[in-house]
Amino acid sequence: MTDSNNSRSARTIAVTAGRPQNENDPLNASIVLASNFQSSGDYARTHGTSTWAALEQAVGELEGGQCLSFATGMAAASAILFALHPSIVVVPSVSYLGVRALLSDMQDHGHVRVVSIDIVNTEAVVKAMKAASVEVGAERVVLWIETPTNPTLDEAEPEILCRAANASNVKTVVDSTFASPIGQQPLKLGASVVMHSGTKFIGGHSDLMIGLALTNDAEVFEKLSRARVVQGATPGALEAFLALRGLRTLPLRYEAATKNANEICRRLQTHSAIEWTKNVGPMLSYIVTGGAAAADRVCATTSMIITATSLGGVETTMERRQKYAGDAHVNPGLIRMSVGIEDVEDIWSDLEKALAS
């Protein structure tokens, strides 16, 4: 990240950051297929490649921090926990099931104790964090913030939580996958680490898996880098290239999808088949009257909207989340929708017909 770029807009950074700078270089970063390099001791797993570096520079400039790329979002989450080495993790009770499964396994193996909390209850979160700090010491506590949450789109107060954590010397991790660097920039709010599943909005085309972790703490960055080296959780060359290419249009895609989601949410609020609905950015969740059976019929009846478990692509996807064991605690009729960039009238027409079923 360079100071000269700080005043540029997100749209400009997304397009310009991480491009080759030398005369006669190609316009775009190349796909570097290499495990090692001539006339040096560099090895890709330990020293990286120029493809990774270009992606990391671009995401780092958007988020305002130093970035490392990983094989998947879960690889990034694992590396963060490995690097910070907490004894207690305070985590949202409603949050991404993959991270909760990882923490559950770590707890079963005696590596960590998990404290689940309603992340929107700021006072309770701060109280739990302080209690953990008293018990094991602030340096052994991590506050894991996911906002908005998956799949209920609960919104925490990251600035207040990060400020309270910093005052207590507790490290904070913000999973900002749903918001993307366009929706929020937690490092500027005081977060210790920000993570993304770049598989989602950053890549944006449902054709890659990659994870990203960012920090402004030099010591934490070195620990994250070490975790990537020893765990071997490095990104593929093609995946890094595709993620950077996807990033170029992230602001435009995110804006268009958010506009669509706002409109779909507005229409659902007055629909007789809907009990509750909310959207944050392009992500939309709603509860179908009639529970699981009715929600399953809606998902099975659409013709354009795709039933799929991931999100963040240019296409609109949705699924009933309670069918997964890790999300068994959410409302059985809740459908999580990742709204795409199709014409909003086409999205609505397809969804309205399915709701009529």
In angstroms, the Cα distances linking 277 to 123, 151, 265, 288, 290 are 26, 12, 6, 9, 15
Q: What is the dihedral of CA 296, 301, 307, 313, to 10 degrees?
A: -130
Do 232 and 262 lie in one domain? The reply is no
Q: What is the pLDDT of residue 6?
A: 62
Q: What is the dihedral of CA 256, 258, 263, 266, to 10 degrees?
A: 180
Do 52 and 98 lie in one domain? The reply is yes
Tokens of 79: 């590396």
Which amino acid is present at 240?
A
Full 3-state SS string of the chain: CCHHHCCCCHHHHHHHCCCCCCCCCCCCCCCCCCCECCCCCCEHHHHCCHHHHHHHHHHHHHHCCEEEEECCHHHHHHHHHHHHCCCEEEEECCCCHHHHHHHHHHHHCCCCEEEEECCCCHHHHHHHHHHHHHHHCHHHEEEEEECCCCCCCCCCCHHHHHHHHHHCCCEEEEECCCCHHHHCCHHHHCCCEEEEECCCCCCCCCCCCCEEEEECCHHHHHHHHHHHHHHCCCCCHHHHHHHHHHHCCHHHHHHHHHHHHHHHHHHHCCCCCEEEEEEECCEEEEEECCHHHHHHHHHHHCCCCEECCCCCCCCCEEEEHHHCHHHCCCCCCEEEEECCCCCHHHHHHHHHHHHHC
Structural domain total, the chain: 2
Do 235 and 258 lie in one domain? The reply is no
Choosing from 198, 232, 247, the residue where a domain stops is: 247
Do 336 and 197 lie in one domain? The reply is no
The span from the CA of 133 to the CA of 145, in Å, is: 17
Do 199 and 302 lie in one domain? The reply is no
Report yes or no: 246 and 104 within 8 Å, Cβ to Cβ.
no
Do 93 and 169 lie in one domain? The reply is yes
Provide the CATH number for the domain around residue 299.
Answer: 3.90.1150.10
The span from the CA of 238 to the CA of 243, in Å, is: 8
Do 169 and 288 lie in one domain? The reply is no
Structural domain span for residue 286: 251-356
Do 48 and 122 lie in one domain? The reply is yes
Choosing from 229, 247, 265, the residue where a domain stops is: 247
Do 133 and 216 lie in one domain? The reply is yes
Q: What is the pLDDT of residue 2?
A: 41
Provide the CATH number for the domain around residue 66.
Answer: 3.40.640.10
Do 238 and 256 lie in one domain? The reply is no
Do 42 and 184 lie in one domain? The reply is yes
Q: What is the pLDDT of residue 1?
A: 43
Query: Residue 56 burial (CB < 10 Å; 0-12/13-18/19+)?
Result: buried
- Can the peptide bond before residue 151 be classed as cis, meaning omega within 30 degrees of 0? yes
What residues of the chain score a pLDDT lower than 70? Answer: 1-6
Choosing from 225, 247, 269, the residue where a domain stops is: 247
Do 260 and 240 lie in one domain? The reply is no
Beta bridge partners of 280: 283
